[in-house]
Amino acid sequence: MVSERLTSMSRPVVTRFAPSPTGYLHIGGGRTALFNWLYARGRGGKFLLRIEDTDRERSTPEATAAILRGLTWLGLDWDGDPISQFERRDRHAEVAHEMLRRGTAYKCFSSQEEIAAFREASKASYAVFRSPWRDVAAENHPDLPYVIRMKAPQSGQSEIKDEVQGSVIIQNDTLDDMICLRSDGTPTYMLAVVVDDHDMGVTHVIRGDDHLNNAARQQMIYDAMGWEIPVWAHIPLIHGPDGKKLSKRHGATGVEEYQAMGYPAAGMRNYLTRLGWAHGDAEIFSTTEALAMFDLAGIGRAPARLDFKKLENTCGHHMAAMEDAALLHELVAFMQVAGLPALTDAQKDLMSRGLYCVKDRAKTFHELLEKAHFMLVSRPIVADEASAKSLDSVSRGILNSLTPQLQNASWTKADLEQILTNAAAENGIGFGKLAAPLRAALAGRSATPSVYDMMLVIGQTETITRLNDATV
């Protein structure tokens, strides 16, 4: 592992996330953003956003909005306004021309047809294209459209000092003179990233390892302009459960889909942080703890597979640990995204009083809602198939006999406990046999919080009314 360069350690960290606005925020992109965010924020640095919208055909404002929504949901905040790469095209062109002046780039008049013909002819050898214009003096240039190509070294090697991949050596003769400025005057990606990262003061480039090879060429631009090369950290991509590249076939690929599936953002952050990164045995941790622990050295080099079981488990821990108010707030947002009807004020009120007894039994918001059903239904309560079985004539009779005692109860947990255990004993049944019909009557479900908690939450009047409903 290469240690961080001194120059970079002496200035504040600036990272960035640079998505192409061609669709929703991919879960892999979300993790890349998270790593950048953790690294910068954990060090008091800046986390910037750049929208790589130079591909005018595929870029849409809707996609940009979706990406920002995804980041916001994940809790990743960025500094300043997102930067549009497209709007910086003049600056990119300016740098290309500066390279021309410096002699580190040249005008190439080869047409796309000529290049295509070269590729066709050298299909077998896969030779790299060598422009015949590399060393042609300006006075011999024709009056034709041209591109500006990087005058890259053709021998020797380039070293990428990568914090994750270690030292990576690329032979310079395998690289062609990449195009920096197209014949229509627009910049290519390779030029634009370097110029933007430099101008934005990015100190650490943390991105997918599909860019590892690109780093060698990008370094050449930094060198050509005399700019300082940032610290590289190329992280492996996320794969589906079967080890293949994550695709729609695997289910959810978009961050917002995970929100709709009901995973709490804190759990998602925790899980995603641990996916491809480790710090000893740390598994369940808060974002504050993650910020303190996160480092580049802990990032693994192999692609990690998404494991929904572990995601759920992680989310369960966070769900239980969340403050009631925050949990309710996130639940409301979730219901909106999932297209569920909004909670009424009465429901919210009940929920804020009863969340304590459901949050540690759920791993997703869908489960939370299911467990909270007793707070959300309105009478008459219809017992579902499983719970209806426990409402036979015998148990109805027992429930009915409970009513007078409940009417006189002080409605504390201790009091209710005494009434119910006595009732079970008097009827010669185990407590479980009594709890089942109570669940059916109070919630219409067989999987619910403790019967005591339900009674406490909905209150005396409502409890008795529901029992009466069930016994008629």
Interface with RNA (CB under 7 A), residue from 11, 102, 244, 249? 244
> Which part of the chain contacts RNA (CB under 7 A), choosing from 224-232, 330-338, 341-349, 354-362?
354-362
Binding mask 252-271 for RNA (x = CB under 7 A): --------------------
Question: Which C-beta is closer to RNA: that of 177 or that of 330?
Answer: 177
Give me the least distance between CB of 159 and RNA, in Å please: 10
Distance of CA 43 to the CA centre of its chain: 21
**Closest distance between RNA and the C-beta of residue 376, in Å?**
16
Amino acid at 125: S
Distance CA 56, CA 69 (A): 21
Q: How many residues bind RNA (CB under 7 A)?
A: 86
Interface residue with RNA, options 97, 305, 353, 396 (CB under 7 A): 305
Query: Of 16, 45, 52, 374, which one interacts with RNA (CB under 7 A)?
Result: 52
Distance (Å, whole) CA 396 – CA 471: 5
> Is residue 189 a contact residue for RNA (CB under 7 A)?
yes
**Residue type at position 288:** T
Distance CA 291, CA 293 (A): 6
- Helix and strand element counts for the chain (H, E): 21, 12
Q: Is 302 in the site for RNA (CB under 7 A)?
A: yes
Q: How far is the CB of 419 from RNA (least distance, A)?
A: 12
- Residues 368-387 binding RNA (CB under 7 A) are 371
Tokens 């120059």 sit on residue: 7
- Name which of 45 and 99 has its Cβ closer to RNA: 99
Task: DSSP for 295-336, please give it.
Answer: -STTB-SS-EE--HHHHHHHHHHHHHHS-HHHHHHHHHHHHH
Residue positions annotated with a catalytic role: 248
Cα–Cα distance between 185 and 100 in angstroms, integer?
Answer: 14
Selected from 12, 75, 80, 166, the binder of RNA by CB under 7 A is 166
Joined together, the tokens standing for residue 393 give 């004539």
Q: Please provide residue 177's backbone torsions phi and psi, each rounded to the nearest 5 degrees.
A: -80, 95
Stretch that binds RNA, among 162-170, 285-293, 341-349, 459-467 (CB under 7 A): 162-170
Q: Concatenated DSSP letters for 35-96? A: HHHHHHHTTT-EEEEEE----TTT--HHHHHHHHHHHHHHT---SSSPEESGGGHHHHHHHH
Q: Does 171 bind RNA (CB under 7 A)?
A: yes
Residue 393's identity, in one-letter code, is: S
Q: Binding RNA by CB under 7 A: which of 20, 287, 395, 471?
A: 20
Looking at 13, 14, 194, 212, which residue binds RNA (CB under 7 A)?
Answer: 212
Using the contact rule CB under 7 A, the part of the chain among 132-140, 219-227, 279-287, 391-399 near RNA is 279-287
Based on CB atoms, which residue is closest to RNA, 330 or 367? 367
Q: According to the binding rule CB under 7 A, does residue 197 interact with RNA? A: no
243 phi and psi angles, rounded to 5 deg: 85, -5
Answer for which of 363, 381, 395, 466 binds RNA (CB under 7 A) is 363
Binding RNA (rule: CB under 7 A), the pick from 2, 225, 252, 278 is: 278
